[in-house]
Structures are given as C-alpha cells and as structure tokens.
Amino acid sequence: MSLLYDVRDDRFAQLTHSHARLDTLWTGGRWCEGPAYLAAGRYLVWSDIPNDRVMRWDEADGSVSVLEQPCLNHNGHTVDGAGRLISCEHGGRAVSRIDYDGTRHVLAGRFSGKQLNSPNDVVVKSDGTIWFSDPTYGIDSDYEGNVAVSEIGASNVYRINLDGTIDAVVTDMVQPNGLAFSVDERLLYVSDTGFTHQPDCKPKIRAYPISADGEMIGEGHDVAVSESGLFDGFRVDTNGNLWSSAADGVHCFSPSGELLGKILVPEVVANVCFFGPKRNRLAICATTSVYSIYVNARGL
Ligand code: MG
C-alpha cells in the first residue's frame, strides 16, 4: 500500500495517477463541508459550518477568502444548470439560491406546513428539479446551527419540483445525507449517516430507482457499506464510479458497488467534488482542511 492510495482492484490504477500528490488548498476550519465549483468564475466554495462561513478558493491565484459570514450555517452546495449557487442552510433550515443580482432566494423551507429540519446536501437533476436531504444535524445542537425539535419528526429526502412544490421522495432512512444521480439519472444514490443516532444503522450508500420522468419507482437497495466511518457527501464520475467521503479518505466504488480503492487523507473526510476546467481534480473537504488531487476521471 502506498502512502497515498489503498488499491483494492486493478481498475483503480486507471482512475488515479501514481505520481499525483495530495495538495492542501487551505486549512483552518472546524468542519469543512459542501464543496462546489463555480466554473464561470473559476472558484471553489465550501462551508466551514461551526464558524458559520462560506469560503472561496480562487483557481487563478490559489488565494482563499471568506465569501460570506455569517451565512446561516451553510452545509452542502451545488450549482444549477444556469450556474447559480444552491445552498443547504442549517441556520435558515432551508434550501436557497443566490440569484444573479446576489440576493438570497429561498427555494424550500417547509414541507406540509412544517419547518424543515436542517437541509444537508443537494443535487440538481438535468430537468431542473432540486433534490436535497434533510437530517437533523443542524438542529441537534448549537454547534452547526440552532438547537430545535424537529417539526416533521422524520429525516427525508425531498424534491423541489419546477413549480416550486415539494415532495418527499425517500422516507426510509434514519439520517439521509449525501446524494447524487447515476450517469443516466435512473438511480438516486443517497448515503445514510444514521449510525450517529442509531447504532444499528449501517453506514451505507443506497440506490433508489427513478423513472424517465423523475418519479420514484421502487425500493432502494444497498450499494456500498463503509468499512471506515460514515459515508457523508459523494460524487459520481462520467463512467458512473462513486467517489465517497469516509473516515480514512475517499473511497472509490464501481457503479455496482465494488470498492476499487481509496485515496488516503490525514483527516476525516466529509464531502468531495470534481473541479477545474476538465473537472478532473477532486476537492476534498476534510474536517479542518480542504485538500485536492488530480484523478484520471471526470466529474459528471
Ligand atoms: Mg453531508
């Protein structure tokens, strides 16, 4: 085993560069999460949740600055098809979008008249619908948000439809967390970090089948179970491999869930995203730091 990789399958060598190195883009956070790449501006953003700030790394000169503080304890981020930043807010208990004039526009704050728990991670489908997870981490304590009792009484995955209505789409998880679509968008992958609240909840990524028009059409099934800590956020590459956060680094799985290998990281990893003009760099949010590494894969 090298210091950088833990190779479990020959295919992993094709997905990585043996001579690549793990760069430290920044350090000094408390719990870094929610990486997203704004291609038009060539910058990365991420959340430093307990410090209630959104950070920005500029690809042009490598500088890091505070994009927003306070920020309602952002967690997960993504970018929609029009290049706008979509944010999960623990403090706001909402999913919001930054519009072109810089204003915050709330996309979802309630479901069935009840306040959301604390949206955690978010993904946009090609049809423009926005899918997000809503576990309780942002209301469990004041550390990552504001302590409160769940009004909904459950932790679900929701879909924001094009008309602004919201549907619950995954309701059988303890604490749904990271989420991503398969390449053909016929599967929704969701990680469950419910082990934090229920010790018999296996740390896993499940896949839920979706119809061509975006409706849930069956039960979910386990794709991968973690052998090292929890799967929090993850991303899918153009060949359908999953690159997931875990306690000891980034675990790479084939589309069918075989563990191909790991990128070993010296801190607990919370989330990843592909970035750069070729989307072949992985940004790794890991506790106090953001690392990056070039891989031989491109993000979806
Ligand atoms: Mg998360």
Tokens for 225? Answer: 């179970």
Residue at 253 is within a domain: yes
Residues flanking ion ligand 1, Cβ below 5 Å? 120-121, 177, 232-233
Whole-angstrom CA distances from 288 to 28, 75, 269, 283 are 6, 14, 10, 14
C-alpha 277 – ligand 1 centre gap (Å):
25
C-alpha 79 – ligand 1 centre gap (Å):
16
CA pair distance 99, 236, nearest whole angstrom: 26
C-alpha 295 – ligand 1 centre gap (Å):
22
Q: Which domain holds residue 67?
A: 5-294
CB-based burial label for 18 (10 Å; 0-12, 13-18, 19+): exposed
The predicted pLDDT at position 136 comes to 98
C-alpha 234 – ligand 1 centre gap (Å):
9
Per the CB < 8 A criterion, the answer to whether 137 and 129 are in contact is: no
Residues 32-48: tens digit of each pLDDT: 999 999 999 999 999 99
C-alpha 133 – ligand 1 centre gap (Å):
8
CB-based burial label for 146 (10 Å; 0-12, 13-18, 19+): middle
* Cis, peptide link before residue 35, omega less than 30° from 0: no
Q: How many domains are there within the chain? A: 1
The predicted pLDDT at position 191 comes to 98
C-alpha 215 – ligand 1 centre gap (Å):
24
Residue at 123 is within a domain: yes
Residue at 286 is within a domain: yes
| The dihedral sign for the CA sequence 246, 24, 141, 67 | negative
| Average pLDDT for 170-182 | 98
The predicted pLDDT at position 71 comes to 97
Which one-letter DSSP state was computed for residue 51?
A: G
Residue at 117 is within a domain: yes
The predicted pLDDT at position 1 comes to 54
C-alpha 117 – ligand 1 centre gap (Å):
13
| Average pLDDT for 272-283 | 98
| Average pLDDT for 225-249 | 98
How are strands ordered across the β-sheet holding 94-98?
Answer: 74-79, 85-89, 94-98, 104-108
Per the CB < 8 A criterion, the answer to whether 164 and 106 are in contact is: no
Domain with residue 114: its CATH number is 2.120.10.30
| Average pLDDT for 244-259 | 97
Residue at 225 is within a domain: yes
C-alpha 34 – ligand 1 centre gap (Å):
7
Residue at 22 is within a domain: yes
Tell me what percent of the residues of the chain surpass a pLDDT of 90: 99
Residue at 263 is within a domain: yes
Residue at 299 is within a domain: no
Task: Give exposure, 176-211, as e/b (b: 16+ Cβ within 10 Å).
Answer: bbbbbbbeeeebbbbbbbbbbeeeebebbbbbbebe
- pLDDT grade, residue 3 (50/70/90)? confident
Residues 117-168: tens digit of each pLDDT: 999 999 999 999 999 999 999 999 999 999 999 999 999 999 999 999 999 9
| Average pLDDT for 66-71 | 97
Per the CB < 8 A criterion, the answer to whether 253 and 259 are in contact is: yes
C-alpha 233 – ligand 1 centre gap (Å):
5
Q: Average per-residue pLDDT in the chain?
A: 97
